[in-house]
């Protein structure tokens, strides 16, 4: 009996909740119940009776058509049903995308770390025969090479993901695939949590090295900065890589944040990111090249990171209120 | 079992027939259709209620509540004058249809 009620509820779930529909649903339910009781009286088993009642229900589209029910617009726009093959291709591509973007970001951070490292090595006379001025300059060569490779990776992987854009716009998967994805997602959840813990731990622990080294000397603290940046780079790689995999499940299962609304929000945060990060690089380069502040100017990156995190966090919260 | 495609144009006629002599309600009508057709035609729930809606809008039937035992309320339907006229029209139409289709029916070996 519960089954019949649930079945009817599901059938009516997509229909507007109007007086007319409620009345219709009630009528149908009492009909179906009566049919069910009579079948049971005729000696049918519970399952048989329910099976017959449901098989004789018909097609909800007939009612939608007859009652001139406006079909939910969203429903009409969204569902492009994609195949299992597309789903798997997308998951694979997302994982690769996460890896490549992660490596790119890692390289960007390492680029500034080696810049700091080389200028300090020159200062400490570990690298000999180079003036301090030249020391800060030679670090720039690998710096730019690394940044260039990273940018190349961003563009390349971005283009590769372009063909999956339709998935990001919202697609529907069959219920079988959905179940399969849910299971995979749940299995992945623990991996994700562990990666998150490791990443956060690395971030929190990274300043400790800085403190320890700064006890010895100013020079040593610079090496501490290098170690800090390396740890942060590893943490960021972990965040990006596992985060991308998680997002791919979320997109396919259309969990919370990939609603139209959130997409809009991501777009604005993305636009801000595309302005402030290059700006940070410009500040970094000018303060270094013109004012020769290489020993301290790396700080613009963590500061930018913090400011950006503050902005995107605050923006999300403010937006959510409306 | 007759496919619902074949019978579609005559669901209204079948339901009106059921209401000719006395008022009735959803389940009773569907049960009687099943019996009268020797279980060869079972009207689907959605087909039945689409037809009720259509017939009522056209003024061929009227619906009203009737209290059953145990305080259960049921929607009953009764045929109107317009409904009876429409039913007669459909019967004529069927006779013609039957003759026409029969022209194209023969034994094939």
A78 SS3 class: coil
Chain A: give the shortest CA distance to residue B67, in Å. 14
- pLDDT-based confidence at A260, cuts 50/70/90? low
- pLDDT-based confidence at A112, cuts 50/70/90? confident
For the purposes of burial, counting CB atoms within 10 Å of the CB of B80, is it exposed (0-12), middle (13-18) or buried (19 or more)?
Answer: middle
Q: Residue A40: its pLDDT value, please? A: 92
Q: How far apart are CA B86 and CA A264, in angstroms?
A: 56
Residue A258 has pLDDT above 60, yes or no: no
CB B43 within 8 A of CB B33: yes
- What pLDDT digit, counting tens, does each position of B15-54 carry? 999 999 999 999 999 999 999 999 899 999 999 999 999 9
Q: How far apart are CA A307 and CA A273, in angstroms?
A: 11
- What pLDDT digit, counting tens, does each position of A158-217 carry? 888 888 887 777 677 777 778 888 888 888 999 999 998 998 888 888 888 888 888 887
Q: Name the residue among A57, A66, A67 with its Cβ closest to that of B45.
A: A57
Domain boundaries, chain A: 2-77, 82-258
Q: In what order do the strands lie in the sheet with B61-67?
A: B24-25, B73-79, B61-67
Q: Residue A287: its pLDDT value, please? A: 83
- pLDDT-based confidence at A263, cuts 50/70/90? low
- Nearest CA among A176, A293, A160, A181 for reference residue A248: A181
Residue of higher predicted confidence among A312 and A42: A42
Q: Residue B101: its pLDDT value, please? A: 93
**Cβ–Cβ gap A57/B44 under 8 Å:** yes
- What pLDDT digit, counting tens, does each position of A117-168 carry? 887 888 777 777 777 677 667 878 888 899 899 889 988 888 888 888 877 7
Radius of gyration of chain A (CA): 29
Pick the residue of B1, B2, B46 with the most A CBs within 10 A to test the interface with A by mutation: B46
CA–CA–CA angle A231, A282, A224 (5° rounding): 25
- pLDDT-based confidence at B89, cuts 50/70/90? very high
Residue B3 has pLDDT above 80, yes or no: no
**Cβ–Cβ gap B46/A65 under 8 Å:** no
CB A140 within 8 A of CB A176: no
Half-sphere exposure of A53 (CA within 13 A, CB side): 29
Query: A106: which 2 tokens?
Result: 């890692």
Residue A256 has pLDDT above 70, yes or no: no
Q: How far apart are CA B89 and CA B10, in angstroms?
A: 12
Q: How far apart are CA B94 and CA B100, in angstroms?
A: 10
CB A110 within 8 A of CB A230: yes
**Cβ–Cβ gap A62/B42 under 8 Å:** no
Boundaries of domain holding B38:
4-103
Residue of higher predicted confidence among A92 and A60: A92
Which positions 20-49 of A are in contact with B (Cβ < 8 Å)?
A: 24, 27-28, 30-32, 34-35, 38
Domain count, chain B: 1
Residue A89 has pLDDT above 60, yes or no: yes
Q: How far apart are CA A312 and CA A255, in angstroms?
A: 20
Torsion sign over Cα B32, B36, B38, B44: negative
Q: Residue A8: its pLDDT value, please? A: 87
For the purposes of burial, counting CB atoms within 10 Å of the CB of A129, is it exposed (0-12), middle (13-18) or buried (19 or more)?
Answer: exposed
**Cβ–Cβ gap B45/A59 under 8 Å:** no
Count chain A–chain B contacts defined by CB atoms under 8 A.
47
The answer as to whether B109 is a domain residue is: no
Q: At what angle do helices A46-55 and A19-41 cross, to 10 degrees?
A: 140
Element (H, E) at B56: helix B45-57
**Residue B55: closest C-alpha in chain A:** A66
**Cβ–Cβ gap B49/A28 under 8 Å:** yes
* Contacts within 8 Å (CB) and 24+ apart, B58-66: B58/B82, B58/B86, B59/B83, B60/B12, B60/B16, B60/B86, B60/B87, B61/B15, B61/B16, B61/B19, B66/B25
- pLDDT-based confidence at A285, cuts 50/70/90? confident
Residue B94 has pLDDT above 80, yes or no: yes
The answer as to whether B81 is a domain residue is: yes
Place of tokens 């059938």: A11
Residue B81 has pLDDT above 60, yes or no: yes
Q: Give ipTM to 2 decimals.
A: 0.86
Residues of chain A found within 8 Å of residue B74, distances taken between Cβ atoms: 30
Query: A11: which 2 tokens?
Result: 């059938």
The answer as to whether B108 is a domain residue is: no
CATH number of the domain residue B76 falls in: 1.10.10.10
Residue A78 has pLDDT above 70, yes or no: no
Chain B: give the shortest CA distance to residue A54, in Å. 9
The answer as to whether B53 is a domain residue is: yes
- pLDDT-based confidence at A60, cuts 50/70/90? confident
Query: Average of pLDDT values for A63-79?
Result: 65
CA–CA–CA angle A205, A207, A209 (5° rounding): 85
**Cβ–Cβ gap A62/B44 under 8 Å:** yes
Q: How far is CA A10 from CA A72, A78, A124, B6, in A?
A: 15, 19, 73, 29
- pLDDT-based confidence at A16, cuts 50/70/90? confident
Residue A13 has pLDDT above 60, yes or no: yes
The DSSP 8-state label assigned to residue A16 in this structure reads: -
Q: How far apart are CA A28 and CA A190, in angstroms?
A: 45
% of chain A at pLDDT higher than 70? 90
B75 SS3 class: strand
Q: Residue A320: its pLDDT value, please? A: 65
The answer as to whether B94 is a domain residue is: yes
Chain A: give the shortest CA distance to residue B78, in Å. 16
């Amino acid at each position: 009996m519960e089954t019949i009620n649930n079945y009817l509820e599901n059938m009516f779930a997509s229909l507007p909740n109007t007086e007319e529909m409620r009345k219709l649903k009630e009528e149908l339910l009492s009909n179906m119940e009566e049919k069910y009781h009579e079948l049971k009286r005729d000696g049918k088993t519970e399952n048989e009776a329910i099976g017959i009642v449901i098989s004789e229900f018909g097609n909800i589209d007939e009612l939608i058509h007859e009652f001139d029910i406006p079909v939910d617009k969203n429903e009409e726009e969204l569902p492009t049903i994609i195949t299992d093959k597309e789903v798997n291709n997308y998951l694979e591509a997302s994982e690769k995308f996460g890896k490549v973007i992660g490596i790119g970001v890692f390289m960007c951070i390492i680029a500034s770390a080696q810049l700091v490292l080389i200028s300090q090595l020159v200062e400490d006379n570990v690298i000999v025969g180079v003036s301090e001025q030249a020391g800060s300059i030679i670090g720039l060569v690998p710096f730019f090479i690394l940044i260039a490779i990273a940018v190349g990776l961003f563009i390349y992987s971005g283009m590769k993901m372009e063909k999956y854009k339709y998935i990001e716009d919202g697609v529907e998967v069959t219920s079988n695939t959905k179940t399969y994805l849910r299971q995979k997602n749940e299995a992945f959840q623990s991996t994700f949590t562990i990666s998150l813990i490791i990443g956060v731990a690395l971030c929190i622990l990274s300043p400790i090295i800085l403190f320890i080294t700064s006890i010895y000397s100013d020079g040593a603290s610079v090496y501490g900065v290098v170690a800090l940046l390396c740890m942060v780079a590893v943490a960021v790689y972990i965040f990006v890589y596992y985060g991308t995999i998680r997002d791919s499940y979320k997109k396919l299962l259309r969990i919370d944040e990939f609603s139209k609304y959130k997409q809009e929000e991501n777009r604005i945060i993305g636009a801000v990111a595309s302005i402030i990060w290059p700006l940070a690089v410009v500040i970094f380069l000018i303060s270094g090249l013109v004012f020769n502040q290489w020993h301290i100017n790396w700080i613009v990156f963590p500061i930018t990171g913090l400011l950006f995190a503050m902005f995107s966090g605050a923006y999300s919260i403010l937006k959510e209120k409306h | 079992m007759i496919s619902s495609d074949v019978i579609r144009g005559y669901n209204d006629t079948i339901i009106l027939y059921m209401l000719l002599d006395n008022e009735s309600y959803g389940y009773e009508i569907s049960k009687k259709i099943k019996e009268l057709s020797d279980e060869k035609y079972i009207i689907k729930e959605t087909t039945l209620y689409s037809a009720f809606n259509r017939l009522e809008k056209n003024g061929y039937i009227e619906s009203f509540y009737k209290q059953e035992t145990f305080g259960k309320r049921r929607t009953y339907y009764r045929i109107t004058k317009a409904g009876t006229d429409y039913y007669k029209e459909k019967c004529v139409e069927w006779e013609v249809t039957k003759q026409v289709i029969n022209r194209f029916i023969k034994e094939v070996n």
